[in-house]
Structure 1
Amino acid sequence: MSQLVSLNLPAGTTVPSHADVVIVGGGIMGTSIAFHLAEAGVRNIVLVERAELGTGSSAKPLGGVRATFSDPANIILGQRSLRSFEDFNYRFKTDIGLRKVGYLFLCRSEAEMLDCERSTHIQNGLGSNSRMIAPTEAVEINPFLRKEALVGASFSPDDGFAEPEKVVQAYAEAAVALGVRILEHTEVMDVASADGCIRSVTTNRGTIQTNAVICCAGAWSQRIGEMVDVHLPVTPVRRQIGMTPQLSTPMPTVPFTLDLSTTMYFHNYANGMLLGISNSNQEPGFSRDFSHEWLPEFNAAARICAPALVEPELAQGWAGLYENTPDHNALIGASKTVEGFYYATGFSGHGFLQGPAVGELIRDLYLSRESFLDHSSFSADRFTEATKLFREVHII
């Protein structure tokens, strides 16, 4: 990422002594929230990032943007963010590389077809234009596919992908212009509370007195929550992708294509291809070292659906962290036990595509005003309450 202007404190200096809001994490969530709060008139905001902006989960070279989910809340987050991405060039004078190539979900069983049909019905009831298509049309849309492997597919033409780095950069620069202080290489060592309220954030550069902390620390969020005894069940899991060499002849434009049975996915990357799979053998952990150990599983899936992609030549690769929750839905809300502790994390691979909308949602939550969506289904309390209920039933 290109260096932002005036974001870093000189080495050896301390952080500001006070802030009205401290945002922990400088990825898509942190920068979006910082911008939306500042735009709404909130002042004295400090964002701290342990490394550099956008180098955590937002570091992926291309990120999918879509509203094709199976439940209304996630669909609404996706739709609202899509509208923001479409307006990005106008609002921020930034080309984020948005390409609306569509999303193609491959169905290889009747059960997958039924699930997609239900989801498509919900999506379209909320204003999307997804549709179910036959294998023949799927192959017309994506010539890499083997028609015989498919029962059908769902296609949403308004979806696609964009460049997370450019989105983070634009939000950060806009936030700084509105007075937000962004401090890179500033790691949170402790968050202090007293009498059920947030009091301060201690970093490697000093302590900031504050009454509000917003945790957007991605895969590292559970540790931040533990500092104030707030349970944020986020597990880091490495995900890897590969990029093929750039071709000298034009590459066919294909949708962001995902096989539901195996989670294999691929789409264009300039004049090459980006390939990946949520490999099932990956153990949880913070490793971000790239390897080729995911390729056998990818090749096995490609042999079924897209034989031309088997044993791909890779020119480069990327490894990053998913921030998974037990149900693979986000954690968005405010603590009921520690006043002033907010969180937006655990997006399980969907953070980039939901970042703009979540920035608005946390802004409204902080300002105690009605928002476009009831966030309660994303509350972290759903896990503590479920655990409590299980224990009560188990005891009985």
Structure 2
Amino acid sequence: MAHTLPSHVSVVVIGGGIMGCSTLYHLAKMGVPDAILLERNALTSGTTWHSAAQVRALRHSRNLTRMIQYSVELYAQLEHETGQSVGWIQKGSLSIATNPGRLTHIRRQEALAHAYGINARSISAGEAKERWPLMNAKDVLAAVWSPEDGRVSPSDVCAGLVKAAKRLGAKLFERTGVTGILTENGRVRGVETSQGTVMCDAIALCTGLWSREVGAMAAAEVPALACEHFYLLTKPIDGIVGNTPTLSDHDSHLYIRDDSGGLLVGCFEPMGKPIAPGVLNGSFEFALLPEDWEHFEPMMINALHRLPILEKAEVKMLLNGPESFTPDGTFMLGETAETRGLFLGCGMNSVGVASGGGAGMNLAHYIVRGHAAYDLTEADAKRFAPIFNNIEHLMARAPEILGTHYDIAYPGKQLKTARDLRALPLNKEYREANAHMGQFYGWERPLYFGKTAEPVLRFDRPDWFENVRAEVMAAHEQAAIFDASPFGKIEVEGPDAESFLLQVCAGHMARSPGSVIYTAMLNERGTFESDLTAQRITQDHYRLFVGATAIKRDLAWLRRHAQCYNVTLTDSTETYAVLGLMGPEAARIVSECGAGDLNNVSYFKHGTARLAGNHVRAARMSYVGEAGWELTCLTENASDLYAALAAAGAKPAGLFAQTSMRIEKGFCAMGHELDADVTPIAAGLDFAVRKGNGFIGAEALSDVRARGEVSHIVSLTLDDETAVPLGHEPIYLDDRIVGQTSSCAFGYRVGKPVGLCHTREPLKDGVRVQIDIARRMVDATVTIGPLFDPAGKRMNR
């Protein structure tokens, strides 16, 4: 360990667990030899040392899976690079199912594994019993076997990472606690420590259990909270020889493996125990929390059922070690919105060791190159609404997140805690219409209307199927109201508004006032940071509409690039409500409500009117493929406007109906078809991009265009009307995986299940393929372009 702190370094890594050690190693690998790591106590003394260290490659997305695959490769490489053993034990994992829902779930996971190149296969209950002889398999229906999964020794991994980093010039300072973070004009400048001050250009905050408090030193929001996490250790048991696969009995909330000749029985119980801030202080080093047998008892009963041999086993200890959890169960990675140069690598949700190698590599990428190695929007540090940093909400949500680790991934599942945080202007009206609500960025949004009872979640046709059909048909045959109020709204004003937006947006931003403009915001690689629509209100004023969950991220991106322009950026999201009035009766309704002039507004234009006595700005556009307007009004006028539209015959429609109609129209969405790995050309959106230079990403896009890249997005219609694709399903052509679904729904106007898909190779219109839905192959037809109204005549009339 180094003894004297340098006065200035490029990057300070705070925290000596798996994330900090991995980040330090990768910074050194990427040419930052003066990076240092500060650890308040000793390496791995927080959460890392007591991790069960399961390394299971499969995750719900390609890039999270790719990240863990990288971890496996890295940990194996470390032994050759440093001579440090990492304790890699590759005995595979066995996931059992004891009910039909879980069986579908694990078979969907098996299908996903094939799409991501992971070795996994279904096996019978009998074969599962052969692989885990001590298991009671009487209630097991089937299992999935993943032979390449394993586990490591977390302390040894960290020792290897630091050893390699130090060889490359990086330094480690243990017993050096951070007492403050220095900032200037919203950017980090240095850290104050118990051993002195170090000035720096960037900070990697990898402080695990204490990340929220350390982030607050730099005025940054880090919504993560510690919960108690339990696993039982037994003394040696007859019949356990050598190492076993990890047994996942998620219906019982358990994971089980050998440990020193005995058993390790861990759990993610349905509702965990939160740890209030301040309980884990600076002296919490290689420490554990008190045993809590009363809390663990239901899990122990489950374990005794699965492993009868436990009845005779001697208990070594009930380990209770804290782990940190975020409001959605995914870690935080990347630069904060509040403070430039402060990068998060924390909130690991009990998968820190498995993810740490790849997550540390990506965090180093963020710091050195300004972006992750591949799209990790789902882990973006800027994705949470500020309200989730509230300690009361975290204390409620984090214990539920712990329990969701082993949930069945039913479509439509919603979290139960920390709800009703942000209400839409029409919340009262929607509740009276029996809306079933879902939470997005803290907002409660209607998913569908007319709910008569809580839906029973399932993988086959959902309880809300007919409710959504009625809403789609209302929009298709009459008129429906879709609430777009949660979408972020950003006012861009000033003499440089046009030149600024021409720089940060790839679309045709110089169009005249009164225009509506769809555009991408690209990065230097020519891939998506965001997509949005803009209304040019005056020569010096645009209003941008961004995704409901993207406002914090997009506003930070815009502010970062606005410094050299004479513009002001204002978040007006809560100032305005937006109601989409869509359907063939929309024209009659606005006329009856006193705004007949809106029928003269042409497609992708906007105009103002008095509708039911209220001022509205109406944009002629459609996200659902039916004619209509998006009506923007002051929030306080939304109830009057809604009442008038409803009285004239418009019906409310929810997010499920909107998604179905979007997919039928082939409209791409961020987080589904669009992300930081995808260019507008690959998404079939090159028509909305200016040619030539003058905007961020233009040069990269020109290179891609010159190489002949074409769209990789196609539409799919499934033959089987009862099939329920959910997204991420592999697509087969002649027994080869040629793509993966990205958005799926039932297409009520088409009369079949439908989807959008990313393909790995060009597919011809009309080609027949098969979709793997939980290992059942369903025939489907490829369509190049929209499935419904491909010429767009209904939107333009």
TM-score w.r.t. length of structure 1: 0.90
> 1:323-362 maps to which residues of 2 (within 5 A)?
323-362=324-363
> 1:61-210 maps to which residues of 2 (within 5 A)?
62-210=52-200
Q: 1:26 aligns with which of 16, 31, 43?
A: 16
- Aligned partner of 2:382: which letter? D
- Aligned partner of 1:132: which letter? S
The structure showing larger relative contact order (alpha-carbon pairs under 8 Å, at least 6 residues apart) is: 1
Q: Which moved more, 1:42-51 or 1:297-306?
A: 297-306
CA shift digits 1:237-290 (9 cap, x unpaired): 121223222358762642111211232121111322222212445421156324
Cα-Cα RMSD: 2.3
Conservation of the 8 A alpha-carbon contact between 2:188 and 2:203: yes
Alignment correspondent of 1:272 = 262
In 2 relative to 1, CA 109–388 (structure 1 residues): closer, same or farther, beyond 3 Å? closer
Whether 1:229 aligns to 2:219 is yes
Distance (whole Å) between structure 2 residues aligned to residue 348 and residue 33 of structure 1: 18
Deviation of 1:16 after TM superposition, in Å, equals 2.7
Alignment correspondent of 1:3 = none
Q: Which moved more, 1:325-334 or 1:202-211?
A: 202-211
Q: 2:38 aligns with which of 35, 39, 48?
A: 48
Q: Unaligned 5+ residue runs, structure 2?
A: 281-287, 387-439, 446-484, 487-573, 575-634, 639-797
TM-score w.r.t. length of structure 2: 0.46
- Aligned partner of 1:50: which letter? R
Distance (whole Å) between structure 1 residues aligned to residue 220 and residue 110 of structure 2: 36
Conservation of the 8 A alpha-carbon contact between 1:240 and 1:290: no
Q: 2:251 aligns with which of 261, 275, 298?
A: 261
Distance (whole Å) between structure 2 residues aligned to residue 354 and residue 110 of structure 1: 30
CA shift digits 1:294-318 (9 cap, x unpaired): 5412321123322222474222453
In 2 relative to 1, CA 390–62 (structure 1 residues): closer, same or farther, beyond 3 Å? closer
Q: Which moved more, 1:352-361 or 1:239-248?
A: 239-248
Q: Equivalent residue of 1:382, what SS?
A: coil
Conservation of the 8 A alpha-carbon contact between 1:48 and 1:187: yes
Q: 1:387 aligns with which of 441, 454, 463?
A: 441
Conservation of the 8 A alpha-carbon contact between 2:253 and 2:270: no
Alignment correspondent of 2:775 = none
Conservation of the 8 A alpha-carbon contact between 2:221 and 2:338: no
Q: Equivalent residue of 2:441, what SS?
A: helix
Q: Which moved more, 1:128-137 or 1:57-66?
A: 57-66
Deviation of 1:331 after TM superposition, in Å, equals 0.7
Conservation of the 8 A alpha-carbon contact between 2:237 and 2:313: no
Larger Rg: 2
CA shift digits 1:70-118 (9 cap, x unpaired): 3223211111111222323222212211111111122221111112111
Q: Unaligned 5+ residue runs, structure 1?
A: 1-5
Conservation of the 8 A alpha-carbon contact between 2:81 and 2:164: no
Deviation of 1:324 after TM superposition, in Å, equals 0.6
Deviation of 1:62 after TM superposition, in Å, equals 4.3
Distance (whole Å) between structure 2 residues aligned to residue 312 and residue 382 of structure 1: 46
- Residue identity over aligned pairs, in percent, reads 25
Deviation of 1:192 after TM superposition, in Å, equals 2.1
Distance (whole Å) between structure 1 residues aligned to residue 238 and residue 83 of structure 2: 31
Deviation of 1:333 after TM superposition, in Å, equals 1.1
Q: Which moved more, 1:319-328 or 1:61-70?
A: 61-70
Q: Equivalent residue of 2:143, what SS?
A: strand
When you count strand as a share of all residues, which structure comes out higher? Answer: 2
Alignment correspondent of 1:291 = 291
Aligned length: 386
Distance (whole Å) between structure 1 residues aligned to residue 274 and residue 171 of structure 2: 33
In 2 relative to 1, CA 159–39 (structure 1 residues): closer, same or farther, beyond 3 Å? same
CA shift digits 1:18-75 (9 cap, x unpaired): 2211101001110111011112210321211111001111112641111122322321
